Homo-oligomer: A and B are copies of this chain.
Amino acid sequence: MTARDMVQTLLAGRSGAPARDHAEATAPANIALVKYWGKRDAELNLPVTDSLSVALTPLGTQTRLAPRRGGDEVTLNGAAVPPDDPFAVRLARFLDLFRPAPDVGFAVATVNTVPTAAGVASSASGFAALTRALDALFDWRLPPAALSALARLGSGSACRSLWDGFVEWRAGERADGRDSHGVPLSETWPGLCVGLRIVDAGPKSAPSRAAMNDTTASSPLYAAWPDTVRRDLAAARAAIARRDFAALGATAEGNALAMHATALAARPAVCYWQPETLRTLRRVWALRAAGTPVYATLDAGPNVKLLFEAPARSAVRVAFPDLQVIGPFDRAP
């Protein structure tokens, strides 16, 4: 089963021609509380395990998509991206799955409100927004689960960026990947806060695809990862259901550190941390030891995301004055 086969199956009976001259869409960034780390199918981005995220609404991506003659034309935050840039190459490969004819190009204007490639999942919101824009441009009117499966082909974690709030990515069992997509949880958590501490906003030292594959292939500790995720997912679901912040925070932090630990044990080591990453973690642990319920999570990069609740906000701000704080459930309805 190739990605193109999956797309053709999902789009069966739907139009292959644009229904309008352009379309716009947005999608939120997300951070995983239980991480996606390891693929069972590289082309289809099928994961080894389930994962669980919370959307970073309103942070995310806004995308404008229009068909055009000739090749693709990509802008990122207003600046033209050269066609041989890895970002443009990745977009083009994804768009190849949806071109009405090989010579049809797309103009893609992407605006991220999170630092690109800083480990804050700009690829997740980017491919989710692009998939929504494709749906609007071609007037497919696909259900969100199908859009989620399509977005997954661009970036695995993008399949969780089709919804606000908590989203589980069910790994699925089918070889064709149609059952591997996001599923939103009904629970909300007013007052939940996510603090972004940007240690380094530049591109990461190891792109997460390569690092994930190196870890899966060479880390002797990866064998224990799937069971770790199974236990952590059950614990996180239960913590969300009973709104137990200490349990959710401890599970998210433990799971993130376990992910980084499997990477560190890859051979050679995959180490995302910078000295400031470590200092940030130690400050989080010191805050917690002093009575402030705050936990850390890290994606495949040096940046640290803090998890806390509204009552801890001022204490956390004193320790981290430059923190960008998001309340995923605090928007007006």
Chain A residues packing against B (C-beta within 8 Å) = 219-225, 227-228, 231, 250, 253-254, 257-258, 260-262, 264-265, 267-269, 271, 273-276, 278-279, 281-282, 285
Contacts and interface: CB of A to CB of B under 8 A. Distances in A.
A275 to B, nearest CB: 3
Contact of A271 (B221, B228, B262, B281): B281
A220 B279 contact: no
A250 B265 CA distance: 12
Contacts of A220: 224, 227-228, 231, 254, 258
A213 to B, nearest CB: 17
27 contacts: A219-B258, A220-B227, A220-B228, A220-B231, A220-B254, A221-B221, A221-B224, A221-B225, A221-B228, A221-B258, A224-B224, A228-B265, A250-B267, A250-B268, A253-B269, A254-B268, A257-B264, A257-B265, A257-B269, A258-B265, A261-B261, A261-B264, A261-B265, A268-B285, A269-B281, A275-B278, A275-B279
Contacts of A262: 221, 261
A273 B258 CA distance: 16
Contacts of A224: 220-224
Nearest to A220: B228
Nearest to A223: B224
Nearest to A273: B278
- Copy tally for this chain in the complex stands at 2
A279 B261 CA distance: 17
Instruction: List the 3 closest A-B pairs by CB distance, nearest first.
Output: A275-B275, A261-B261, A220-B228
Contacts of A275: 275-276, 278-279
A282 to B, nearest CB: 8
B258 A254 contact: no
A54 to B, nearest CB: 21
B273 A254 contact: no
Contacts of A276: 275
A91 B210 CA distance: 50
B231 A227 contact: no
Given A220-B231, A228-B265, A257-B265, 9 more contacts: A220-B224, A222-B224, A223-B227, A257-B264, A258-B264, A261-B265, A264-B264, A271-B282, A278-B278
Contacts of A267: 250, 254
Nearest to A282: B271
Most chain B C-beta atoms within 10 Å of own C-beta, residue among A224, A250, A264, A285 = A224
Contacts of A268: 250, 254, 285
A225 B223 CA distance: 10
Nearest to A225: B221
A225 B282 CA distance: 25
Nearest to A261: B261
Nearest to A230: B220
A250 B250 CA distance: 33
A258 B227 CA distance: 18
A262 B254 CA distance: 11
Nearest to A269: B257
